[in-house]
Amino acid sequence: MSVVRVTMGHVSLPADTISQQLSEAVLAAMNDATATEVMPRWRALEDHEIRTKSSEWDLVTDADEAAERMLTVALRELVDVPVVGEEATAQDKSLLDLVDGQGAVWVVDPVDGTRNFVAGTEAFGCMVALIDDGRTVASWITYPAVGREAHAARGVGAFLDGERLTASAPKDPAALAGAVSGKYHPDGPDELFARASRLGPAKPIRFCAAWDYLDVVTGVTDFVKFTRTLPWDHAPGALICQEAGLKAARPNGEEYLPGGDVQSGILTAHPSVWDRVATALRG
């Protein structure tokens, strides 16, 4: 197994790119970036280190930006293809076009759940995905505050803290516990939450996709529904869930692809209940 270097351009990755060695190197780069730039600022942020982007709730910190810079350099040392980072894309939205184009790109969310990070809670993560010709082929999530990690490779499987991860069917299909995000839902958040509540106990998402996907793949929740699907938020977790045996797809059943459409949403649940959940949430 070898870590390969791929020349930047419209090329597909060699078949042996996704290796155990690469996976370990990516996790090491993520841990280095979060240990250096994120954790020293956790619960120690100064006001001048916190800013807003598109709105008052859309926060960015010095930790986000510095960790992304570190990861951008480290990931390109492993596989030399473009890096589409959340913070870089905030400055240059044309980077999003690379995600559903030909060839390979890295996608990076250096601090997923920035609002939670700023609030000092543990519910934040670091996420990386490798996308080739528009499909996610490998992904990694670390949870720096609790020392956990999850990763997956397409056709290989998903792993949580080094152990193979296999999702179970809901314990009580008649009372499905779900988490939903309705901020951008066309019928409004209250209506979406009401539909989810008819299936069983419902709650809002954690505002950290890394943790919401961890919840559904480990059975803390039975389904999770997001309305907006920016690639750095969903490409990593969706692949981990799929490789663990869950269905992560557009609410109409179409394949979830990380590029292009970011408004039609994504629903993740066990295949045994996915259709019923999708129907209920559509109303």
Let me know if residue 276 belongs to a domain. yes
Specify whether 92 is located in the same domain as 223.
no
Residues 6 or more apart whose Cβ sits within 8 Å of residue 156: 18, 243
Residues 6 or more apart whose Cβ sits within 8 Å of residue 141: 112, 125, 126, 127, 128, 149, 150, 151, 210, 213, 214, 236, 237, 240
User: Where residue 9 falls among pLDDT bands split at 50, 70, 90?
Assistant: very low
Mean pLDDT of the chain: 93
pTM for the full model? Answer: 0.94
CATH number at residue 87: 3.30.540.10
User: Where residue 177 falls among pLDDT bands split at 50, 70, 90?
Assistant: very high
Q: What are 23-36's pLDDT values in tens digits?
A: 999 999 999 999 99
Let me know if residue 149 belongs to a domain. yes
Specify whether 264 is located in the same domain as 140.
no
Total domain count for the chain?
2
Let me know if residue 2 belongs to a domain. no
- Is pLDDT at 10 greater than 70 in this prediction? no
* pLDDT score for 139: 98
Q: What are 226-278's pLDDT values in tens digits?
A: 999 999 999 999 999 999 999 999 999 999 999 988 888 999 999 999 999 99
Token pair of 263, please? Answer: 């408004």
Q: Which of 139, 164, 189 is the last residue of a domain?
A: 164
Specify whether 123 is located in the same domain as 220.
no
Half-sphere exposure of 89 (CA within 13 A, CB side): 20
Which domain does 97 fall in, by range? 20-164
* pLDDT score for 262: 86
